[in-house]
Amino acid sequence: MDAYAQWLKGAIVRGSYIGLFAESRNEVIAGAGMLLLQWGPTRGDSNPMRARIVNVWTRPDWRRNGIATDLVQNLLAQAEMIGIRTIGLASTPASEALYRSLGFESYLAEMVRRRR
């Protein structure tokens, strides 16, 4: 099993990953996930939890039918039910309009350091 699949299995068991799928005729046609993160309170958000939307995809022949939108809206509703107010994601140019329609906005203050 590859490293991501192994990690994902553990995250699901720990309850730190919520994954949703859409099916048609017993076939998975789309999916979306949300990672729950212990972030710590900040000046703008006293809740120590944050979330990150990940693994959003739709089979090409099912795109532009609102399926990904429905899955992400479901994840956002789940985040709201548990009090998470800050949710991040990475978007591609093709998905930017979808996320903007759901209230996401560009956030340019982030930097990354990777050690190899």
Length of the chain: 116
Q: In Å, what is the CA distance from 111 to each residue of 26, 106, 108, 114? A: 41, 14, 8, 10
Q: Where are the domains of the chain?
A: 17-101
pLDDT tens, residue by residue, 65-99: 999 999 999 999 999 999 999 999 999 998 999 99
Is the pLDDT reported for residue 50 higher than 90? yes
Across the range 41-45, mean pLDDT stands at 86
Average model confidence (pLDDT) across the chain: 93
| Reported CATH class of domain 17-101 | alpha beta
